[in-house]
Structure 1
Amino acid sequence: MTTTHTTAVRTVQARPRREDLRDFLRSRRARVMPEDVGLPGRGLRRTPGLRREEVATLAGIGVSWYTWLEQGRIIKVSDSVVESISRVLSLDAAERGYFYRLVGLNPPPAVGADTAPMPELVRLMDSWSPYPAYVLDRWWNYVLTNSSAQAVFGVPRKGQNCLVLFFTEPRYRYFFTNWSTLAPQVVADFRSAAASFPDDPRFTAIQSGLYERSPEFARLWDQHEVRAESNGTKAVVHPVMGEMTFDHLVMHPSTRQDLRVSVHLPRGSEGRHKLERLLSASGSASLMTEPRL
């Protein structure tokens, strides 16, 4: 159900990128002292840091090949080589991702994403009130919702899966006036999200379970559509307020790219007035659920 995070081998071709790669590798090599990697630090050295042949040897690659890479020549680079060089040069996560992009590869997703709560998101969502907002984890489970999202969309406080509810909860078929338009977009988005975590079995469990439960999901899944995550429109028929239309924005915190934050903005003054009346009647305009990220 998933694809690998990057094509195995790409060719470094763009001239400005090759120059950036050359300068980046030279600067990273210069800051690593021989003693840092278990090599003798004494003796005359014309340049600071490691020599090219030392980097190549420690990374387990050919000296000539590494020299060509650092010189910005047009050569093929694999992700395993990027990982080896990153280890030798002690690149941090940001530098490693930059290195991947310089050689034309997509960096793999972070392993073992932080699961600690993010109280900043609670405050952010509170500041968005009365606009409906919620947070999904990488598997599309609800981990944080505000009271407006609960009142408008009937989303759970936390724990349940957004994708599963969309395809198995009968009321959503009538609640979303554009359900048939949203459905293929939802599946394509989930397939793209799963591809970012190719070794995560929970994606497979969600997909296979829903495949058995929902013929509509199975049909759409078999089409193998993917798309870049984008904002959009949700038109609903609320049981109390009637028709309401929202423009929704999707964002990812810079330090937790696995989280999907969605906020919904009502269209027009009538939409805003309906939302205000609904929240006023429910008395829940500013209540927030407890985070469980």
Structure 2
Amino acid sequence: MTTMVQSTARSALQEQAGAGSETRRHELAAFLRSRRDRITPEQVGLPRGPRRRTPGLRREEVAHLSAVGVTWYTWLEQARDIHVSVQVLDALARTLLLDKSERAHLFQLAGEVDPTPAASCDGVTDSVRQLLDQLDPLPACVQNSRYDILAYNRTYSLLLCDLDAIPPEDRNCMLLVHTNPEWRASIVHLEETMRLMAAKLRASMAGHLTEPAWKMLVKRLQAESPEFCENWERYEVVANRTKTKQFRNPHVGLLDVQHTDLWLSPEQSARMVTYTPIDEETRERLEKLYLLAAG
């Protein structure tokens, strides 16, 4: 008798869980359709064409821009019982131009945790933020081992690009040096830097090979940067090291600085990256940059 009651209870729980999953799938499908309908072709760099009937994007356009199969994406919008990886969710969020709240909603409906630094800034305490501010006009930021920029001070916000204008999920040094025109233009020795950074990423990734956020970053870099693909296939590795760097800042000119990593949280690989001027001219230019950043 007890066995029958337990079996019935298990069946009821399984049925309830199945109903919950089905409801989430339908909500996810409806959410994707609503976001697709509001995005115009012009917003994502596509021609409208004379025969377009829908005001938003077509399913095949979303699939193409997100690098997924058209049939697979159609099944997703039909609430089919298929698995959606965090890499695909990230691609869909970028294609559909989701804001922070919409992105969080997308991951929640899919039953996944958003691995980007936009969702979590572990290791950045109030005291660390105060320290960053105290370092102005010396540029400084906090990065993790994946090169996500978790926090930064005013001078750093204008050092290589207008960082405040970059969405939090795209504030990653690897991504910016390979895809952001303003950031790339600020690097004096760009080719050498890209090769070195690919080697650093491969060395850092050895302990994170199965983690979704790392795989998502590499997949995105491979899709968006031929230079990264070439350097990644070299299988070079190099550890972090202190070195002299040159930046070509559009506001104040050439900057010669010393790059230093200060480790904050070894278990999370969080570090504070600082740039100190090598000469008096650079010091004066950094002070001007800070004043610009401070408004």
With the length of structure 1 as denominator, give the TM-score of the two structures.
0.54
Aligned to 1:149: 156
Larger Rg: 1
Residue number in structure 2 paired with 1:73: none
Residues 128, 282 of structure 1: CA spacing in aligned structure 2 closer, same or farther, 3 A cutoff? closer
Q: Which amino acid aligns with 1:231?
A: T
The 1-side partners of 2:146 and 2:128 are apart by: 18
* Cα shift at 1:181: 1.5
Instruction: Quote the residue 2:122 is aligned against.
Output: 115
Query: Equivalents in 1 of 2:290, 2:201: separation in Å?
Result: 31
Deviation at 1:188, TM superposition (A): 0.9
Q: Which runs of 5+ in 1 are unaligned?
A: 1-112, 285-293
Q: Choose between structure 1 and 2 for higher RCO, CA contacts under 8 A separated by at least 6 residues.
A: 1
Name which of 122, 131, 136 aligns with 1:129.
Answer: 136
Query: Is the contact made by 1:114 and 1:256 (CA closer than 8 Å) also made in structure 2?
Result: no
Could you tell me whether the CA contact under 8 Å between 2:147 and 2:174 is conserved in 1?
Answer: yes
Relative to 1, partners in 2 of residues 1:246 and 1:169: Cα closer, same or farther, differing over 3 Å? same
Q: Following the alignment from structure 2 to structure 1, what is the Cα–Cα distance between the partners of residues 212 and 193?
A: 26
Question: In structure 1, how many angstroms separate the alpha carbons of the residues matched to 2:236 and 2:247?
Answer: 25
2:225 aligns with: 214
Report the counterpart of residue 243 of structure 1 in structure 2. 254
Distance 2:163 2:183 in 1: 13
Structure with the higher fraction of residues in helix conformation: 2
Q: Match of 1:275?
A: 286
Query: Deviation per CA, 1:58-103, whole angstroms, max 9, x where unpaired?
Result: xxxxxxxxxxxxxxxxxxxxxxxxxxxxxxxxxxxxxxxxxxxxxx
Taking a change above 3 Å as real, the CA distance of residues 114 and 172 of structure 1, as seen in their structure-2 partners, is closer
Cα distance in 1 for partners of 2:195, 2:282 equals 26
CA distance in 1, matches of 2:266, 2:204: 17
Q: Which runs of 4+ in 1 moved over 6 A?
A: none
Q: Deviations along 1:222-253, whole A, 9 cap, x unmatched?
A: 00000111112221111121111111111221
Measured at CA, do residues 155 and 233 of structure 1 come closer, stay the same or move farther in structure 2, by a change above 3 Å?
Answer: farther
Residue 186 (structure 2) aligns with = 175
- So what's the TM-score if we normalise by structure 2? 0.54
Q: Which amino acid aligns with 2:150?
A: V
SS of the residue corresponding to residue 210 of structure 1 reads helix
In the other structure, the counterpart of 1:259 is 270
Distance 1:114 1:132, change over 3 A: closer
Give the 3-state SS of the residue equivalent to 1:149 in structure 2.
helix
Matched to 1:207, the amino acid is V
- After superposition, where does 1:1-293 map in structure 2 within 5 Å? 115=122, 117-154=124-161, 156-157=163-164, 158-159=168-169, 160-254=171-265, 256-283=267-294
Q: Percent identity?
A: 23
Q: Is the 8 A contact 1:250 1:263 kept in 2?
A: yes
Kept after mapping to 2: 8 A contact 1:142/1:156: no
**Aligned residues of 1:145 and 1:156 also touching (Cα < 8 A):** no
TM-superposed deviation, 1:151: 2.1
Structure 2, unmatched stretches of 5+, are 1-119
Letter in 2 for 1:197: H
